[in-house]
Amino acid sequence: MQLTFLGTGGGAPSLQRNVTAIAFTHSPRGDTWLFDCGEGTQLQYMRSPLKPGRMNKIFITHLHGDHIFGLPGLLTSRSMGGITEPLTIYGPEGIKRFVDTALSLSGSYTDYPLEIVEIEAGPVLDDGEFRVSAWPLVHPLPCFGYRIEQHDKPGFLDAARLKEEGVPRGPWYQQLKAGARVTLEDGRVINGADYLGPATRGKTLAIFGDTAPTPTALQLAANVDLMVHEATLEAALQEKANGRGHSTTLQAAQVAKEAGAKRLIATHFSSRYLPRDMPRLLEECRSIFPDTELASDLAVFTL
């Protein structure tokens, strides 16, 4: 599983950073979910190894332009590229009206099934492999963070032991691997759970939208393997950041520390910061939470 940061700037793009978009790739064949879609996201997509046809879900944190202005172009280009796979967009109330209006007024359309789901706080989906839930944050517009939890993977089936005990191979092996009970032709009942090795714990990930400090953050990011949090401004500008519904470097790091996160990736930096400023921002984060990294455009992080 990998995160590719297609845009790491907040508010407006700069020569160093595009605005917010994060791709979560979660299968060997490249299946990808996109979190936010700021202006220019499709160009960043083309600069990355990601395949547009493998993107099947988009999660929007909130409706500020630096998180959604790339959507109409991405959706129509996906169609013009001949991609016919279905796509689902999840986001706050108003996301459907935004997409429908942009496509209608520009005479645009999609040749693939497009579903738009307006969400509230709570469970968003469970596809059998991942659970996704939305958590309300503190920002001038309704804004969510997303917690992604991978289901635990069953342990390996002990085929050698089954063979020793005279259990013949057959289609029931798949049921046994899932831990189910199977009745064989000779009447024996085999409990698959008795033949499985230890389960592999699923990964957990928290992707925050824009937010001022909030107690909800600790629940959203509780004990996650990887946490992505905005750090729009440096610690000295805390009042300015919080007044606009944003967090500082130190505040993002404090959330990671108190939530018990294993790793923090800070992103959504103000365009005031140039490359020479980044070591200072990283030092601020690491003074509170040492396992911090700063995102940069097209950087890839492995979970």
Q: Are residues 106 and 241 in the same domain?
A: yes
Q: Are residues 243 and 277 in the same domain?
A: yes
How, if at all, do strands 32-35 and 9-10 pair? Answer: unpaired
pLDDT tier for residue 201 given thresholds of 50, 70 and 90: confident
What pLDDT shows up at residue 142?
96
pLDDT tier for residue 163 given thresholds of 50, 70 and 90: confident
Asked whether residue 196 carries a pLDDT value surpassing 90, the answer given is no
- How many folded domains does the chain comprise? 2
User: If you average pLDDT over every residue of the chain, what do you get?
Assistant: 93
Q: Are residues 168 and 148 in the same domain?
A: no
Integer Cα distance of 205 and 261 in angstroms: 9
Task: For 32, list phi and psi in degrees, rounded to 5.
Answer: -135, 140
- Joined together, the tokens standing for residue 155 give 């342990």
Asked whether residue 156 carries a pLDDT value surpassing 80, the answer given is no
Integer Cα distance of 132 and 126 in angstroms: 6
| 10-36 pLDDT tens trace | 999 998 999 999 999 998 888 999 999
The residue among 130, 285, 296, 282 whose CA lies nearest residue 205 is 130
Asked whether residue 213 carries a pLDDT value surpassing 80, the answer given is yes
Q: Are residues 137 and 18 in the same domain?
A: yes
pLDDT tier for residue 292 given thresholds of 50, 70 and 90: very high
CB-CB contact of 33 with 59 (8 Å):
yes
Catalytic residue list contains 31: no
Which of 73-77, 125-129, 190-194 shows the lowest mean pLDDT across its residues?
A: 190-194
Asked whether residue 230 carries a pLDDT value surpassing 80, the answer given is yes
Asked whether residue 161 carries a pLDDT value surpassing 90, the answer given is no
Asked whether residue 224 carries a pLDDT value surpassing 90, the answer given is yes
Give the sign of the dihedral formed by CA 158, CA 159, CA 160, CA 165. positive
The residue segments making up the domain with residue 175 are: 159-194
Q: Which of 31, 36, 66, 194 is catalytic?
A: 66
Which of 47-56, 60-69, 174-183, 278-287 shows the lowest mean pLDDT across its residues?
A: 174-183
CATH code, domain with 268: 3.60.15.10
Q: Are residues 172 and 220 in the same domain?
A: no
Rounded percentage of the chain residues whose pLDDT exceeds 90: 78
Q: Are residues 177 and 284 in the same domain?
A: no
Integer Cα distance of 296 and 267 in angstroms: 8
Average pLDDT for 118-125: 96
| Predicted TM-score (pTM) of this structure | 0.88
Q: Are residues 37 and 84 in the same domain?
A: yes
How, if at all, do strands 144-150 and 204-207 pair? Answer: antiparallel
Asked whether residue 127 carries a pLDDT value surpassing 80, the answer given is yes
Q: Are residues 210 and 140 in the same domain?
A: yes
Asked whether residue 162 carries a pLDDT value surpassing 90, the answer given is no
pLDDT tier for residue 56 given thresholds of 50, 70 and 90: very high
Q: Are residues 49 and 164 in the same domain?
A: no
Average pLDDT for 271-275: 94
Q: Are residues 190 and 297 in the same domain?
A: no
Q: Are residues 140 and 168 in the same domain?
A: no
pLDDT tier for residue 179 given thresholds of 50, 70 and 90: confident
Q: Are residues 73 and 108 in the same domain?
A: yes
What pLDDT shows up at residue 300?
97
What pLDDT shows up at residue 110?
92
Average pLDDT for 163-174: 77
CA contacts within 13 A on the Cβ side of 245: 17
